[in-house]
Amino acid sequence: MEGPTPSGDLIPINVVEGGSGVPGEVMEGFARPEHPDKSPMTAVVLLNYVEFLMGHVGRNNLVDALDYYVDIGWIGEQVRDEVLAYARGID
């Protein structure tokens, strides 16, 4: 199993060489979070993700951004719903 490279970059799971290069294309073999687990580490990651997104798209556009990520296959609907639940708890 591969880990971080010496430079600290993470290596994607099951990297697929090539691809059509179409923006937004979901290539087979890449990890796509369908549903979050309930671990403390996941909670920390989701909170950081919510803060990052709200800082870049704003609270009013968060739902649209997450819906777009679901539409293009970056995240599953359960992940979107969990992120929105965390966002409701942030002032």
Kindly state the average pLDDT of the residues 6-17. 49
Specify the pLDDT at position 55. 92
Half-sphere exposure of residue 17: CA atoms within 13 angstroms, side-chain side: 0
Is the pLDDT reported for residue 14 higher than 50? no
Per-residue pLDDT tens digits for 53-66: 999 999 999 999 99
Rg (CA), the chain: 15
**What tokens does 32 get?**
């796509």
Confidence of residue 21 (pLDDT cuts 50, 70, 90): very low
Quick one: DSSP state of residue 28?
T
Quick one: DSSP state of residue 78?
H
- Of 43 and 1, the structure prediction assigns the larger pLDDT to 43
Instruction: Kindly report the pTM of this predicted structure.
Output: 0.60
Is the pLDDT reported for residue 25 higher than 80? no
